[in-house]
Amino acid sequence: EADLESRLPLKGKKILITAGPTYEAIDPVRFIGNHSSGKMGFDIAQSAANLGASVLLVTGPTHFTIESNLVKVIRVVSAQEMYEACHLYFDDVDVVIAAAAVADYRPKNVASHKIKKNTAEYKIELEKTIDILASLGEIKKNQLLIGFALETENEIENAKLKIQKKNLDLIVLNSLQDKGAGFGKLTNKITFIDKNFVVEPMELKSKEAVADDILNKVIAHFYA
Ligand code: CTP
Ligand code: CA
């Protein structure tokens, strides 16, 4: 019994994970997106399931799949759809890990027909998408809320601001400084910063190992 529990320390816990990019439509055939592969979020989902957690994985467009009875994959396209899926499940979960690279802006108007190249210039007006993680931070009760931060300058300071702005318990700061880390790569160099602003830099490691480090933080929260 105790042995089972130590091998499946997250059994009975429900974890909502966001992953991948979002695509924001310009017209029926074009979109604004980004280079997120979804790998980090899928690795987190796999680690969480390996530890016994029930996982809801809300993901933007990606080629990744996951085969586990403990993981339900919810595929979405836009930031708005990701927002709606997250809010559908939020009340019911114990932990949220927001690894998605959500588009910050979307076209204000989506053309209903394919745009023709009739003019020398074409301007697309953009409006902000909704901040999914901040919206969850506003309504959170007992949920442990973990976000990511991608920064290229004043990394620690900006990440601390995000903790406050989004009411997070922990942020995973992603450093692009290291050439082996980030988008399209197999490795990540992260720094944990908690809500008390305790800063913990980690070594460059595989995204699978980073996923395990993040889940260890979740385990520590429940066994503190
Ligand atoms: N995030 C989100 N919804 C958005 C934008 C971001 O849920 N519309 C989440 C991301 O999944 C991540 C965290 O917020 O966990 C931080 O994302 P990041 O892009 O680093 O920060 P932003 O708040 O978007 O600010 P900026 O891009 O201007 O630095
Ligand atoms: Ca952003």
127-181: per-residue pLDDT in tens?
999 999 999 999 999 999 999 999 989 999 999 999 999 999 999 999 876 665 6
Q: Is residue 132 in contact with ligand 1, taking CB distance under 6 Å?
A: yes
Known catalytic residue: 34? yes
Query: Domain with 165 in it: what CATH number?
Result: 3.40.50.10300
Atom number, ligand 1, closest to the C-alpha of residue 100: 11
Residue 166 lies in a domain: yes
Residue 33 lies in a domain: yes
* pTM score: 0.96
Residue 24 lies in a domain: yes
Neighbours of 191 (CB within 10 A): 18
* 150 within 8 A of 171, measured Cβ to Cβ: no
Residue 80 lies in a domain: yes
Q: What share of the chain in percent tops pLDDT 70? A: 94
Per the structure, the count of domains in the chain is: 1
- Closest residue to atom 8 of ligand 1, CA basis: 131
- pLDDT grade for 195, boundaries at 50, 70 and 90: very high
Given the residues 34, 50, 158, 167, select the one marked as catalytic: 34
Q: How many angstroms separate the alpha carbon of residue 31 from the centre of ligand 2?
A: 17
Atom number, ligand 1, closest to the C-alpha of residue 158: 29
- Looking at all shown ligands, the one closest to residue 149's CA atom is 1
Residue 116 lies in a domain: no
Residue 167's domain comprises 2-105+126-223
Q: Is residue 176 in contact with ligand 1, taking CB distance under 6 Å?
A: no
Neighbours of 84 (CB within 10 A): 14
DSSP result, 121-170: -----EEEPP-HHHHHHHH-SS-EEEEEEEESSSHHHHHHHHHHHHT-SE
